[in-house]
Amino acid sequence: MAARIHPVAGAVGLLTVLTFWTSTVVSELSGSTAAIVAVKLAIPWALPILVLALAITGGTGFRLAGKSAMPALLAKKRRMPFIAGNGLLVLIPSAITLAVLAGRAEFGPLFYGVQALELFAGATNIVLMSLNARDGFRVTGRFGHRRSVTE
């Protein structure tokens, strides 16, 4: 069961972060204050989906990997604390702060400083989560050949 849930939860998590990041960039590039406010107020409402998806992904991933010494699985395990820490310590507080500031129409240096931090942290998580997905595909052979334990 975990083998089926893990990739779905991982995909939901990655697509959620990617949607948040892309929506932020598109709203900023549009130049529309209404679009920026709408995106910044919507993101916190979707955070429970992201948190649940990432918790399920982490839990099932650790269960599936067990005590394997496969390099791809060890790499995934090493990335997870950075993904989780980045989300809990940077992305969630940033999303809430930006929602409050956008709701007050406070688009000053604080807003754009937090926004820059959020975009950087989000891009970092997108890269790390994509690498984890790639390594998961390699381990399972889902999109190519299955890797051996020594590869």
Q: At what angle do helices 33-65 and 2-30 cross, to 10 degrees?
A: 160
* Backbone φ, ψ for residue 148 (5° rounding): -80, 170
Residue labelled with tokens 């999303």: 95
Instruction: Please give the single-letter amino acid code of residue 63.
Output: R
Share of the chain above pLDDT 70, in %: 94
pLDDT over 80 at 26, yes or no: yes
**What pLDDT, on a 0 to 100 scale, did the predictor assign at position 66?**
83
Instruction: Please give the single-letter amino acid code of residue 93.
Output: P
For 33-53, write each residue's pLDDT tens digit: 999 999 999 999 999 999 999
Give pTM, 2 decimals: 0.88
Question: Which is nearest to 61 in space by CA: 140, 114, 141, 148?
Answer: 140
CA gap 20, 42 in Å, rounded: 9
**What pLDDT, on a 0 to 100 scale, did the predictor assign at position 115?**
97
**Contacts from 74-77 at CB under 8 Å and sequence distance 24+?**
75/131, 75/135, 76/132, 76/135, 76/136
